[in-house]
Structure 1
Amino acid sequence: MLAALLLAALAAPPEFNYDEAEVPDYTLPDVLGEANSPEDWPGRRAEIVRLFEQHVYGVAPPAPEKVTFEETEEAGPGGAWWRQVRAECDLGDGKESSFPFRIAVPNGTTKENPAPVVVLIVHPARMNQLGDDLSDSDFFPSEAITAAGFAAVALPAAELAPDDKETFDTKLLAALGWDRASNGGDRPADGCGALAAWGWGASRVIDYAAQSEYLDASRVAVVGHSRGGKAAWWAAARDPRFSIAYSNNSGCGGAALSRRRFGETVARINSSFPHWFCPQFDAYNGNEDALPIDQHMLAAAVAPRAVYVASAAEDRWADPRGEFLSLVEANPAFELFGDRKLTEDESPAAGEQVVTDRRGYHLREGGHGLERSDWMQFLSFAAGVWEEK
C-alpha cells in the first residue's frame, strides 16, 4: 500500500495544477504572421517548423541520400500478409544506419488499388507489451486496420533512439556523428532529440511506400500515443508527405498548450525526459510565455493536411482541455484553406467526437492509454479524409 501511494505521488505531485480556475492568463503567438493567403502559407509554415527545431525538438537528420529495404515474409494475425522490413539508410559521407519495422497489408490489395498506410510509432515500453508476434491488441489492432483496407505499420522507436537520457544518441545519431560522445559530451542548443529521431524513422516508411506497387504513398497517416504522439505530430509538421497526423494523450510537448501550465509542465517534462527535446527547451522551464511558439502552431503546421487529437477524460496530466484548444487556436491556418472555424464551445463531452473538415477530436472515457475505441475513431476519420482524394 505504501509503495502504491508513493508511485501515485510521483505520478501526480500535488504542486502541479489540476484546477482550470488557476490556469494563468496567457497570450498565444500569432499563427499566420505575414501570411494572408494559401500562397503565403508555405513560407510561414517553414518559419514555424524552424522555430520548433530551434526551441523544442531540435534539428532532425536530413533525408538519407538513398534508402533500400530488405523484406522477409512471415506469418501474422488476421486477413493480411505480413512483412518484417529493414530500412538500410545511406546517410552520406560513408555513414549508414538501419532499423526494422513490421507491416501488415490487407489481402486482396492490388497494384490498381494500393492500400493507404497507417504508421504507429511505438515507444519501447509498449513495444515490449506487444510482443514479437504483434498479435491483434487494443493498442495495435492490426486486424481492424487491415479490415478497413489500410496497411498497418508498427515502428519500434527504440531502434532509432533508445528512450533513455544516457543512451538515446547511440543509434541513428551516433551513425551521423551527432552523438555527445563525438562532440565533446555536449549537444548544440538545437541538437536533435529522441522525438525528432523517431519521427525521422516514420518518414522512411513513406519512402518504403513510395517504392512499393501495393502501397499508396500519398495516403500515409502517422499515429502515436503519449510520447509517441509528440513524435507523430512533429513528424507530420516536418514532412508534408504525411496525409494525416494523430496524437493520442500526447500532453506537454505534444498537443497540449504549454502556456496553460496544466498538469505536466515544461519544467517537469524536461527534468524527467531531457533527451526527448533539444537543450534550448530548458530555457522555458517555468518560463513558457517566452516561447516564440506554442503547440497550436504545431497543429497549424500540418495544414492543409488533416490533424486529429484524442484525449482521455481522466488523463488530466496530459491536459485534455489544452489538447483540444490547440486545434481551436490553429483556426487561422485552416481557415486559409476554406475550413470552418472550430470553437471552444464545441469541446465534446466524454465519449463524444467533433470533426470540422480537416480537424478531428474525441474525448474518451478513462485514463492514459490507447484503446480500440480510439482506433475506431481514427479509422473513421481517415476514411473520410482519404475518400476525398
Structure 2
Amino acid sequence: MARILFSLALIILVVHLVNAQTPEPVFNYDEAKVGTYTLPDPLIDAKGKPVKTRADWANRRKELIQLFAENVYGQTPKQAVKLRFQTTAVDSSALNGLAIRKQVSIFFIDYPKLPSIDVLIYLPKNNRASAAFLGLNFCGNHCVTTDATIPLSTRWMANTGEATITNQATGKARGMQARRWPVETIVKRGYALVTAYYGDIEPDHPKGWQGHIRSVLGDTTQPDNWGAIGAWAWGMSRILDYLQTEPKIDTKRIMSIGHSRIGKAALWAGAQDERFAAVISNESGEGGAALSRRWYGETVERINTSFPHWFCVRYKTYNKHVVDLPIDQHELLALIAPRPLYVASASDDQWSDPKGEFLGAMHTEPVYKLYGKTALGTTTFPTVNQPVGQTVRYHDRTGKHDVTDYDWEQYLRFADELVR
C-alpha cells in the first residue's frame, strides 16, 4: 500500500513539474476563452475628465498619440529632414497608353549615405489632379508589375526561394505580387497609385535599422525609441511630402493604405499625419486594428517575440500584462476621426482576429459622434462579404491573409465617396 501511495505521489509530482514548465499558450482561437476585458475610454482624458467637445478631443488626441508613442510604436522624431526629389524615369504611355508612370527617388540631404526611397507612381491620363492611394509594398517596385522596364531593387530582401536568393531580388520576383496591385483597374477608375518598397525605409529584420533612418534619428538607448513600424509610417509621410509637389495629384485626397504589418504602419501614419484624407487597414491585426486586450489570435507577447524590432522596447513590458496598457487599438483608429476609415478582415485569417478588428472599428463611434458623423453605425459583426458602416467601413471577406480584387473593389467604392 505504501508503495502504491508513493507511486501515485511521484506521478502527481511529475505531472505538476511538467505543467509548471509548459509555457502558457500565447494565442487562442476559441471565442469561449477570450474572457472579459475593459477597454480604456477615448473620451476620458488623462485627468479623468470627460471629453465633450471637439476642442476637448483636440487635446485628448495629443494625449493619445503620446501614449501610443511612449508605449507601442515609439517616439517619431520631430526634427525636420531636408529632402531632395529626383525624377528618374517617366513613361507617358504606360499601361498601353492608359497612364503616365513616374519613378521618383527621395534623398536625405543631411544624410547622404542613407539609401533613397524609390517611389513608383501611376497617374491617370486626365485633365484634373487625381486622388491617390499611397501604400508600401513588400518586395520591391518590380513585384508590383510585370513591366520589365522597372528596375529590380538592389536592397535587402527576405529570401523567398527563386524570387530572392541571398537576400537579393532575382528576375523571378518581377510581378510576384502584381495581383495585389490591380494598377490598371485603379487607374481606369481615375485614381493614382503610389508605392515604394518598405525595405527602402528599413529592411524588415532586427538589425535592419542599421544604415537606415533609425540609425541617425532617435535614441536607441531609450525604451520609447521608435521601432520599424514607426519608421515605415514616417517614410509614408516623406512620400506624401513629395506628392505635395506633384501637380497631377489631388493633395487633399491622398489615402494611406496597407496590408498586414504595413497596415499597422498605414494606421500609425494616418493617426499622426492628418494630411492623409483617409486610411485603409487591410488585415492589420495585432498592433493594428485588432483589440490588444481581446485574447484571440496573435497577442502582444507573440508579436513582440516574433518581431522584436517592430515596436518600442517598452511595449514588451506588457507581454504578460496587456491589461496595464494605458491605451488600446480602438483609440488608434479613433485618431483617424473625423476622416474616413476602412478596416478589413478575412474569414480564414483568424490570426489577425477579424472580430477584434471589427470591435476596434466599432468602438470609434463616440469620437466620430463628436463631429456629427456615424462611424460603423452597428454593433453586429457582419456575415462574410457584407460590408457595413458609414464614415468607418468594415468587411470580413472569405479567404486568407491577402489582398484581393474583392478588397480593392470595396476600397474603390470607398474612395468614390471621398472624392464626390
TM-score (norm. length: structure 1): 0.87
Q: Deviations along 1:213-240, whole A, 9 cap, x unmatched?
A: 2111111101111001000000000101
Separation (CA, whole Å) in 1 of partners of 2:375 and 2:341: 14
- CA displacement at 1:206 relative to structure 2: 1.8
Corresponding residue for residue 352 of structure 1: 386
Give yes or no for the alignment of 1:86 onto 2:127.
Answer: no
State the shift of 1:130 in Å: 3.4
1:102 pairs with one of 120, 127, 130 = 120
Alignment of 1:370 with 2:403, yes or no, is yes
Instruction: Indicate which of 146, 152, 156 corresponds to 2:197.
Output: 156
Q: Who is 2:38 aligned against?
A: 27
Which residue of 43, 60, 77 corresponds with 2:95?
Answer: 77
| Residues 46-76 of structure 1 deviation map (CA, whole Å, 9 limit, x = unaligned) | 1111110000001123363432311123444
Q: Which runs of 5+ in 2 are unaligned?
A: 1-23, 45-49, 151-174
Residue 341 to residue 249, structure 1, CA distance change in 2 (3 Å):
closer
Q: CA deviation at 1:167?
A: 2.1
User: Counterparts in 2 of 1:221-236, with a 5 A limit?
Assistant: 221-236=255-270
- Name the counterpart of 2:53: 37
Match of 2:5 in 1: none
Q: 1:38 to 1:170 in 2, by over 3 A?
A: same
Letter in 2 for 1:84: Q
Q: Distance in 1 between matches of 2:283 and 2:277?
A: 20
In structure 2, how many angstroms separate the alpha carbons of the residues matched to 1:30 and 1:137?
Answer: 41
Q: What is the alpha-carbon distance in structure 1 between the residues aligned to residue 241 and residue 375 of structure 2?
A: 34
**Which amino acid counterpart does residue 354 of structure 1 have in structure 2?**
V
AA at the equivalent of 1:45: R
- Cα offset for 1:39? 2.1
Match of 1:8 in 2: none
Matched, 1:62 2:41: no
Report the Cα offset of residue 131 of structure 1.
6.0
CA distance 1:51–1:378, change in 2 (3 Å)? same
Q: Which of the numbers 137, 142, 159 marks the counterpart of 2:178?
A: 137
Would the aligned equivalents of 2:267 and 2:288 in 1 still touch at CA under 8 Å?
Answer: yes
Alpha-carbon offset, residue 137 of structure 1: 2.8
Whether the 8 Å CA contact 2:43–2:52 is kept in 1: the answer is yes
Pair 1:72–1:248, CA change in 2 (3 A): same
Given the alignment of the two structures, is residue 219 of structure 1 paired with residue 219 of structure 2, yes or no?
no
| 3-state DSSP of counterpart to 2:275 | coil
8 Å contact from structure 1 (residues 230, 247) kept in 2: yes
CA distance in 2, matches of 1:38, 1:147: 38
Question: SS where residue 235 of structure 1 aligns?
Answer: helix
Larger radius of gyration: 2
Distance 1:96 1:154 in 2: 19
Residue 154 of structure 1 deviates from its aligned partner by: 1.2
1:244-323 alignment, distance < 5 Å: 244-323=278-357
1:9-30 deviations in whole A, cap 9, x for unaligned? xxxx976211111112100011
2:69 maps to: 53
* Partner Cα distance (2:32, 2:142) in 1: 40
State the match for 1:119 in structure 2. 134
Structure-2-length-normalised TM-score: 0.81
Report the CA distance between 1:41 and its aligned residue: 1.7
Instruction: Provide runs of 4+ in structure 1 moved above 4 Å.
Output: 94-97, 126-129
Partner of residue 7, structure 1 = none
Q: How many residues align?
A: 362
The Cα offsets for residues 253-286 of structure 1, whole Å up to 9 and x where unpaired, read as 0100000020100000000101110000001102
Where 2:116 maps in the other structure, the secondary structure is: strand
| 1:237 maps onto 2:271 in alignment | yes
What CA deviation, in whole Å up to 9, does each residue of 1:348-382 have, x standing for no partner?
Answer: 211110122x1011111011101111011011101
In the superposition, relative to structure 1, how do residues 169 and 261 fare at CA in structure 2: closer, same or farther (>3 Å)? Answer: farther
Question: Taking every aligned residue pair, what percent have the same amino acid on both sides?
Answer: 39
| Aligned Cα root-mean-square deviation (Å) | 2.2
Pair 1:118–1:360, CA change in 2 (3 A):
same
Q: Which residue of 1 aligns with 2:208?
A: 167
Bigger shift: residues 283-292 or 128-137:
128-137
CA distance in structure 2 between the partners assigned to 1:164 and 1:137 by the alignment:
24
Q: For the residues of structure 2 that align with 1:102 and 1:376, how far apart are their CA atoms?
A: 22
Distance 1:116 1:64 in 2: 26
Describe the shift of the 1:347–1:279 C-alpha distance in structure 2 as closer, same or farther (beyond 3 A).
same
Q: Is the 8 A contact 1:311 1:364 kept in 2?
A: yes
**Per-residue Cα deviation, 1:98-135 (whole angstroms, up to 9, x for no partner):** 31111000012x3xx211111112234x7674367375
Q: Name the CA distance, whole Å, in 1 between partners of 2:63 and 2:383.
A: 35
